[in-house]
Amino acid sequence: MFVVTLLTNPETPVLERVTVESLRNAWGGGQAHWLDPGVAAEFELDRVPENRWQVWEDLQALRVDMVVQPAEGRRKRLLIADMDSTMIRQECIDELADEAGVGAHVAGITARAMNGELDFEGALRERVGLLKGLPEAVIGQVLRDRITLMPGGRVLVATMKAHGAYAALVSGGFTAFTAAVAEMLGFDENRANSLHVAEGRLAGTVAEPILGKEAKLQALTEITARLGITPAGALAVGDGANDLPMLLAAGTGVALHAKPRVQAECEVRVNHGDLTALLYLQGYGREEFAPV
């Protein structure tokens, strides 16, 4: 059996009953179940429809996301998440670069690297080099004044942990940020790159080896083995090309507001919902969400 989930942004609940029922009837699905009125609903099917992606495109115009996935094993034991533009709204290196006066240049490199147009490791070294001389204290200022959490993150982590899951934050960014964000959101562990500091200023270099796409995949493999589960028991979420191996290896890999190349390779795409979408995809109803 398969489950079709329809969802939208909780801040603008535009999912209408007629949309859900019309699709259910057209596809011969089971009874529709509302996970959150106006926000998320699901129904079962016995096969994946041939016009799935055409319907997906039509629904995107209505600001509605649609995911078709196997019904069995939807609830996952591991949440493994990217940080920049996934658990937070910003790219930390771009914010640091803005403070250093090279924001536009670095943001351009970041965008190309995240869409897979540049080698991630080389692009990171280049961008970090442009931060040389920036006071280390600026990191704290950026965290305080520029970094905002992606909506739904706290409830996603809290709900999955309340149901026995483990949560890991795995970033191609920097430990100075992941440690703070992991604490804010309740992650059990975090992995990222370390910026070198000399005499209170950024040295313009990063510790090797760089945590890139292979290291994210390795984190998934290591953590699932430690938990005594397979990668099929993991829910991974990210937006950039360096997330792709991790997303494709996980039982459910979610491309969240992702770059075009990432969306093209992932079957689970969330462009309108927030991070609570990852709970609806697992079949959690709003009444099951953990208080935060």
pTM, entire model = 0.96
In this prediction, residue 56 has a pLDDT band, given cuts at 50, 70 and 90, of very high
**Residue boundaries of the structural domains of the chain:** 1-72, 76-292
Distance from C-alpha of 265 to C-alpha of 256, rounded to nearest angstrom: 13
Q: Which of 36, 82, 94, 243 is catalytic?
A: 82
Q: For residue 194, what pLDDT is reported?
A: 97
- For residue range 145-173, what is the model confidence (pLDDT) as tens digits? 999 999 999 999 999 999 999 999 999 99
CATH fold for the domain made of 76-292: Rossmann fold (3.40.50)
Over range 215-225, report the average pLDDT: 98
In this prediction, residue 33 has a pLDDT band, given cuts at 50, 70 and 90, of very high
Helix (H, G, I), strand (E, B) or coil at 86: coil
Distance from C-alpha of 60 to C-alpha of 248, rounded to nearest angstrom: 22
Nearest Cα to 270, choosing from 8, 15, 25?
8
Rounded percentage of the chain residues whose pLDDT exceeds 90:
100
- For residue range 237-253, what is the model confidence (pLDDT) as tens digits? 999 999 999 999 999 99
CATH classification number, 1-72, choose in 3.30.70.260, 3.40.718.10, 3.40.190.10, 1.10.10.10: 3.30.70.260
To the query of whether residue 36 is one of the catalytic residues in this protein, the response is no
Q: For residue 184, what pLDDT is reported?
A: 97
Over range 262-278, report the average pLDDT: 97
Tally the residues of the chain: 292
Distances (CA, A) of 165 to 6, 10, 159, 226: 24, 24, 9, 13
Nearest Cα to 59, choosing from 127, 22, 137, 6?
6
Q: How many angstroms separate the first and last alpha carbons of the chain? A: 33
To the query of whether residue 98 is one of the catalytic residues in this protein, the response is no
- For residue range 90-123, what is the model confidence (pLDDT) as tens digits? 999 999 999 999 999 999 999 999 999 999 999 9
Q: Which of 36, 65, 84, 239 is catalytic?
A: 84
